[in-house]
Chain A
């Protein structure tokens, strides 16, 4: 914290805060890494800036270039900010079933949005972006699912920050999307903290998103490295919402819905450690704050109603 030459320079070094009320015991503690404290309010600022800088270094991005990216929101917003500041154009391919705030923010930053069908979720956005890249060879597809700079941002940034603040870390839990955070932080922690557990929380969506998936054309991000993970949980909208609200009510943290899914998995591993009589320091990622999800009704009404409203939406 302190003084920076520009907004981009203020990236990273996010706070790690303890959760005294949600932690199951005095020696089984939960810690939240507040990635909403980044320039545009999400962990994706790290990914976006790292990918842009890598593309500038190798010459694929030049003054006036147009960036193309499949995104359900946060990466797009991060890229849009950096593109604005650095003078690039941006085209985002985005599933139509994402929250309206994300689209509004992208438009405010001057990004162009290409809708992809709701059915199939992010898989469809990826497919469409690859098509667009082929028909527009002068556009630069950064491609967060396969861009090594995404992993590097967490290997050189998020991971070392976490270990410096919590040398006693026993578990790291984060959301599974591009897998950049888990693979980058996980690899760093395995190298510097043998025995650490690296656990993924994967959002489980409604029928619509999985409905048309052909098992032979499934999608696993190129960055995914199963050897880094030691566990993986699938968390539905109801549990994600329940934990998002608990985080707000008990600890005062207003987080996005995907964080609820991550907290759900973090509590599962913490409670397992407690049941075995082990001590644990479980660090998890708060990927963004709740502002962009207010229109989904996630924070009001009964949990059942809120979960129903989220059905068919990409909430993480």
Chain B
């Protein structure tokens, strides 16, 4: 399963400056593990105690994975996975 993963600026030091990388896997965790195998150091920034880091949000096709299984959320061929730091977005 090939997916495109978009990497936030703060983590691009782990991907050689790449804004997005191709990866494979059937779940979010498998995708992260796959990236980790080529860009070591990324996983520990995203995963803590087998859960997503509190201030990291991961979206599969714009949907927050925390509500659809977390790290076990399924990904399918052609999906877009977006990693973003938590911000006070939309705050007025």
Contact = CB atoms under 8 A, between A and B. Distances in A.
Partners in one complex: yes
Nearest to B19: A207
What is the size category of the interface that chain B forms with chain A? 20 to 34
A295 interface: no
B63 interface: yes
A175 B90 contact: yes
Given A211-B10, A213-B10, A176 B89 contact: yes
Given A215-B45, A215-B53, A202 B90 contact: yes
A interface, over-half SS:
mixed
Interface string A85-105: 000000000000000000000
Given A122-B87, A226-B66, A44 B92 contact: yes
Interface residues of A, number: 55
Given A210-B9, A214-B10, A202 B89 contact: yes
Contacts of B56: 215, 218
Interface in B31-59: 45, 53-57, 59
A209 B67 contact: no
Contacts of A201: 90
B54 A204 contact: no
B27 interface: no
A207 B9 contact: yes
A213 B87 CA distance: 8
Contact of A178 (B8, B9, B11, B91): B91
A176 B90 contact: yes
B92 A121 contact: no
Contacts of A211: 9-10
Contacts of B84: 204, 210, 234
Given A210-B9, A231-B67, A236-B62, 10 more contacts: A176-B89, A177-B92, A210-B10, A215-B11, A216-B55, A218-B85, A219-B87, A230-B67, A232-B66, A287-B92
Interface of B: 8-11, 45, 53-57, 59, 62-64, 66-68, 82, 84-92
Interface of A: 42, 44, 70-76, 120-123, 125-126, 144-145, 175-178, 200-205, 207, 209-221, 226, 229-236, 258, 261, 268, 287, 316
8 contacts: A74-B92, A76-B92, A121-B89, A177-B91, A213-B8, A218-B54, A229-B67, A232-B67
